Structure 1
Amino acid sequence: MTTKKYADFIYKQTKGVYNIMIEQMFSDYVLYKDGKRIGVLYDNKLLLVSTENLNKLFPNAVQEKSFDWGYYKLIYIEDTEDKELLEKAIRTTYDDLYFQKDFVIDISYLFKVNKNYSDTIEKIYDLHITFLRFCYDKGLLKINPIDKQGRILHMRFLNNDLTENGTKIFNELHHKWLIYTDKNDGNTSERIGNVKMLEKYYSAIIDKIDIQK
């Protein structure tokens, strides 16, 4: 059994992590980040799913034997007073389990949604040619998704397809680009090829998060 007092303490220690949630399950609690399970609070102990990088953070952590969570192995995080280390442990567990496999964009889904609008599909395709080429040139994508004929080779992109800088920039840049190009007027063709606007958005994001261009 885990007390609410202990659950509240762990939440307080980890609330600096984006989208963290602790949900009661019978007499104990499940720990979630972005809606995905990363650990449990069991008998007033914090147990996180054992991953390669988490074990590097806690090389002496003990594997928990008394809690069965299917094929997951759990380790006991004894030091819960160090808030910074605890938040790092949460992020590390999530990243190892889920982050690299998370979808960033799925262009084919946009085609599916607009399947009855051929002009819109053509526009979506063309604006993504501009966007993906720009992202590769800026070192945000690991592999060039555009072939020599200017055709898109890959429609679905995971975090694993992004470089380190790409994981920090790609999603926000894509969102801004979609908003900018979401207009149908006499300037549509010019807009979807406007690399200068992409450069402007890119520079603003770079300055905000303070990384090297």
Structure 2
Amino acid sequence: MASDQNFVDFVIEQIQKSGEITAKKMFGEYGIYADGKIFGLICDNKLFIKPTVAGRAFIGDVVEAAPYEGAKPSFLIEEQIEDSDWLSELVRISLSELPAPKPKKKK
């Protein structure tokens, strides 16, 4: 099941305090980026954040799940998705540990 655009828009609105947030459609689902760095996915109307040590400490009782079959587990964010301040802070914390995007090769 593909994610609904209304859900994607809601998530982007919730985390807009984390930087310049964009969503790119990928295989019927969405990659979520802040300032050009991918940090999460939206699959089946669920938000998944890439796992980091600091993110795990911030969340506390982490729920991990694969966003799609064959994917590595990510942090599944469910109840806290309504808390914009909490979610924005999680994104900022996670971004600090994630690597910078690789420069694109010129064709």
- Normalised TM-score (structure 2): 0.81
User: Partner residue of 2:103?
Assistant: none
* Matching of residue 50 in structure 1 with residue 89 in structure 2: no
1:75 equivalent to 2:49? Answer no
Deviating above 4 A after TM superposition, structure 1's stretches of 4 or more consecutive aligned residues are: none
Q: Which blocks of at least 5 consecutive residues in structure 1 are unaligned?
A: 100-213
SS in 2 for 1:41: strand
Aligned-residue offset at 1:66: 4.9
Partner of 2:65: 64
Q: Which consecutive unaligned segments of at least 5 residues does structure 2 have?
A: 101-107
**Number of the residue aligned with 2:4:** 3
Structure holding more strand per residue: 2
One-letter amino acid of the structure 1 residue matched with residue 38 of structure 2: R
Larger Rg: 1
Q: What CA distance in whole angstroms lies between the structure 2 residues aligned with 1:98 and 1:47?
A: 17
SS of the aligned residue for 1:80 comes to: helix
CA distance in 1, matches of 2:43, 2:21: 17
Aligned AA for 1:77? Answer: I
How far off its partner does 1:61 sit? 2.0
Identity %: 26
Structure with the higher fraction of residues in helix conformation: 1
Taking structure 1 as the reference length, the TM-score comes to: 0.43
Describe the shift of the 1:12–1:97 C-alpha distance in structure 2 as closer, same or farther (beyond 3 A). Answer: same
Per-residue CA deviation, residues 69-90 of structure 1 (Å, 9 max, x unaligned), is: 4xx5411011200000000011
How many residue pairs get aligned? The number is 97
